Each structure stands twice: as C-alpha cells, then as structure tokens.
Structure 1
Amino acid sequence: MTTRTPLAGHRSIVVGGSTGIGRGIADAWAAAGAEVTVLSRTRPAGPGAGLLRWERVDLTEPAHARARLTESAGGRLDAVCFSSVHYGARRALFSDVSEQEWHDQLAVNTTGLWITLAATLPSLRAAGAGLFLGVSSEVAFNAGPARSGYAASKAAAKSLLDSVAQEEDGTRVRIVQVLPSGMVDSPGIRRRRPPDFDYSSYMKPSDFAGVATELGATAGGGHHGDCLVVGADGSWWSARDSAPVSQSRPVGP
C-alpha cells in the first residue's frame, strides 16, 4: 500500500500539540508527510510521537515564548496551528475563581495566540498562501455559567482571529478556525472528571485528522475567515450555516 503524503515538503508548527486536538492535528499533518514541530510545555508521547519534533514553550512566560516562537518560525513555514488552552482547575462560579486563574487563561488563550500570530505571520505570508489554523470552542459562541474566564478568553481569541482574517490578503495567508461539536476526550478534560467517568460519547483528537489534512493540503483555500465545526464522524461544516451547540450545564442550587 502506498502512503498518501499530500503534505510532503511542508513545514508546520503546532503550538500546544502534545495532547488533545492539537495533537490530533499534529499527528495528521505528520502522517501526511509534513515536517511538524510541536511547541508545548510537555513532550509528545505515545503512538506517532516519533514523527514529531518538539520544542519547549510555556506561554505563561511571554518573553521566553516570544523568543522560541520567533526562532521556530524562521525559514520556510507552510502552516501554523494554535491549540494551546488553559481551562482552569474546574468549572466554578465567578466569585470562586482566583485572579491568578484569570491571568493564566488570558496569558495562554488570548495573549499566547497574539504572540504566535506576531511571530509566524511574516513567514506564512512569504509561503505564498500559508495557513494559520486556530482551535476555537463552542464557548466562544455560547457564554455559560461557571465558565466565565474560559468563555471570555476564548471569545477574545476568536474575535482576534476574525479581525486578523479581515486584514490579511487571502492570497498570501489564510486564517481558519476549527472547533469540536462536542466534548473531546483529552488529558485536560480527564483531570476535571471523576475516575469512573464514561468517555464513550466524547469525541477523540483523531476526529480532526480529515479537516486538518484537507486544510493543510489546500492552505485553507475556500475557508479564509471561516470557523468550521467538526463532528464526531470527522465531517465538518461552517458555523455560519449551523452554530455550535452549547456544552454548558445549568448551575444547581
């Protein structure tokens, strides 16, 4: 059997690609032939990790993150994915959340995205149609109780990418966002669930392989400025056509 390598010769960066959706995208790009560097706090592990390069980046250390991102973005760069996220310790009411958690959410979810854009857009423009892929969340569309910091920082991140997409020439660089239609089984989510929780209904990071490969191969052609909702079967559609459903839970008495 011949391995399909539509991204052979491509060079990509995935910020926050050691686990979760970012890892699913990194694995998909690597499997399609791209040279993929993961920038994250922890080294990728498990199946497929051998295909990924790794550089340590901590977005809560902005000077360090800026320097590492700028160095990694040098030279040819075809695609960048920003998937780093800080959820918070747990879902909690605003009055129960510390100011430090708020600062950490902003540092990773919003400022980290800003730093990544600033460091990588010049090289993506030089590629002649580079792709910047942002991993969003339904919470950017649907504010919910006990998620105020996460919702606010992710909504700001979506608006940042929406605004940059309107500034950029789509023939030089394309900005696309993706998000899951449901909850995704990931280490970050598992830290917030009880040991006996049933994840059988949850999506998997590998559900993003199809959309990631397609966007990588076309440099996001036809989707500049769009936000794509990805289903558990690997299908995807524009949030303009069908908005993502809220995953918030009511606040009990």
Structure 2
Amino acid sequence: MTALAGRRGLVVGGSTGIGGAIARAWSEAGMDVHVLSRSQPGALRWSPVDLADPEAARTVLEAAGREPLDAVAFSAVSYGDKRATFSDTPLDQWRTQVEVNLHGLWLTLAATLPSLRAARPGLFINVSSEVVFNGGPGRSGYAATKAAGASLVDSVYQEEDPDLVRIVSVLPAGMVDSPGIRRRRPADFDYSDYMRPESFAPIALTLATTAGADHNGDNLVVHPDGTWTPIHDHTPISQTHRSRV
C-alpha cells in the first residue's frame, strides 16, 4: 500500500496497543512514521520518551515537532497499577496520570500544531475513552484526566482553522486487549470478548488519507469489526462495574 507515501506522521505512545496499531497502519500504507514511547516499536523509527518526566518529554516532543508533519496521534496513557477507589489511590499515581494523560497531551499539541498547520491541513488524532462520558468507580484518576484531555482537545478544535488543522478523537466501543491491560489482569484472564488494537487500522488510514475531512471535531467510536460511529449515535457502555473494582 502506498496511499500515504510521502507523508510524515508522529505517534506518541505508539509502541503497543491502539497507538501501535495506528503507527503500523500508517507505516504499511507508506507513511514515514516516528514513534515516541518508552519501549521500542519493532522496526519503526523511534525516540524514547517518558511523559512522566515532563521536562525531558518536552525536549523530545519539541524536537519531533520541528519535523514536517502531516498527521499526529496521541495514544499515551497511564491507567495506574490497578483499579482502586479514590481513597485507596496514592497521590503519586494521580500525579503520574496527570503528567501522562493530560500534560503529555498538552505538550504534544503545543509541539506539533505549528507543523500540522503548515501541512494545510494537518491531522491530530486523540485516542480517547468511554470514561470521558461514563466515569465510574475504581478509576477516578484515569477518568478525570481523560475527560480533561477531551475538553482540551475540543477547545483547541474550536480555536483552529479547519483549513489548517483538523482534530478527531477516536475511542473503542469496548475493552481492548493490550499489554497495559494485561499487566492489570490475572494470568488466567479470558480476553476472548476484548477488542484487538488492529480494529483501529481502518479509521487510522481513512483519517490520514482524507486529513480528517468530514470528521473535524468528532468523537468516533470504533467497533471490533473496524467500523465506527459518531459518539452521538451511541455512547459506549461503562467498562467498569462495582463488582470488578
């Protein structure tokens, strides 16, 4: 596939999970993809970054943002060690979630918007979550930071000229089987009803090919079969149940 040949993309948090699927889909379609993450994503061009270290992360992001960019995806996330009530959540876990999920998003936008504007139009994809719309027990820090990030992205979308930058949020309809999730589950956990990160490949290709045309400002829910629907058509159900906290 060469649909994206000659274009350049950046995926923050693109070594595994949804971000990894987006990075691979873009690369396989011919895009020159640069991944920023803590772990190396196979053969893709990579620079190490730890968003929990904001000063070091800012340096890496600013360097990446000085390159020409047609598309950027932010998929970095800190879930915490396990689901826990607010009263059982340590302060350092909350601070890490703020640094990664919210401040990392802010730093990424600040570093890359100038290059995306120069692409006329550039595309920014924010990997969101149903917690933005549902909240839920056992994930207050994750829910709060993802909701704040969604509001940040929506505000920037309203500020930016759509002829220069288009901003789209994507989120899974259900739980996604990823290394981050597996670290939080028992060894014998059954993932048969979980989504696979590869479900995000079709939407990643469509958005990058069209630079987000017809979807600027949208929240798109991605389904296991790779199709997607706008959030206003059907809000995903909460992935948290009190019995699982």
TM over 0.5: yes
2:76 aligns with one of 71, 84, 89: 84
Inter-partner Cα distance in structure 2 for 1:234 and 1:6:
18
Inter-partner Cα distance in structure 2 for 1:118 and 1:251:
40
Q: Which deviations, in whole Å up to 9, do the C-alpha atoms of 1:79-134 show, x marking residues without a partner?
A: 00000000000000111110000000000000000000000000000110000000
Inter-partner Cα distance in structure 2 for 1:96 and 1:243:
29
Q: Which amino acid aligns with 1:26?
A: A
Deviation, structure 1 residue 200 = 1.0
Q: Greater CA deviation, 191-200 or 240-249?
A: 240-249
Inter-partner Cα distance in structure 2 for 1:234 and 1:252:
27
SS at match of 1:193: coil
| TM-score for the superposition, normalised by structure 2 | 0.98
Deviation, structure 1 residue 73 = 1.5
1:189 aligns with one of 160, 181, 190: 181
SS at match of 2:202: helix
Q: Does structure 1 residue 111 correspond to structure 2 residue 103?
A: yes
Deviation, structure 1 residue 62 = 1.1
Q: Which amino acid aligns with 2:62?
A: T
1:19 aligns with one of 16, 20, 39: 16
Inter-partner Cα distance in structure 2 for 1:215 and 1:198:
32
RMSD over equivalenced CA pairs, Å: 1.1
Q: Which deviations, in whole Å up to 9, do the C-alpha atoms of 1:30-81 show, x marking residues without a partner?
A: 011100010011111xxxx32x100001111111111111111113110000
In 2, are the aligned partners of 1:145 and 1:251 still within 8 Å (CA)? Answer: no
Q: Which deviations, in whole Å up to 9, do the C-alpha atoms of 1:207-253 show, x marking residues without a partner?
A: 10000000000010111100100000000011022112111111479
In 2, are the aligned partners of 1:14 and 1:26 still within 8 Å (CA)? Answer: yes
SS at match of 1:106: helix
Matched residues, number = 245
Inter-partner Cα distance in structure 2 for 1:252 and 1:59:
29
Q: Name the counterpart of 1:248.
A: 240
SS at match of 1:141: helix
Identity %: 60
Q: Name the counterpart of 1:61.
A: 53
1:126 aligns with one of 118, 121, 128: 118
Q: Greater CA deviation, 82-91 or 235-244?
A: 235-244
SS at match of 1:220: coil
Q: Greater CA deviation, 30-39 or 64-73?
A: 64-73
1:151 aligns with one of 143, 151, 161: 143
Judged with a 3 Å threshold, the aligned counterparts in structure 2 of structure 1 residues 108 and 247 are, in CA distance, closer, same or farther, namely same
In 2, are the aligned partners of 1:136 and 1:179 still within 8 Å (CA)? Answer: yes
Inter-partner Cα distance in structure 2 for 1:190 and 1:17:
17
**Which structure 1 residue ranges, 4+ long, deviate > 6 Å from structure 2?**
none
| TM-score for the superposition, normalised by structure 1 | 0.95
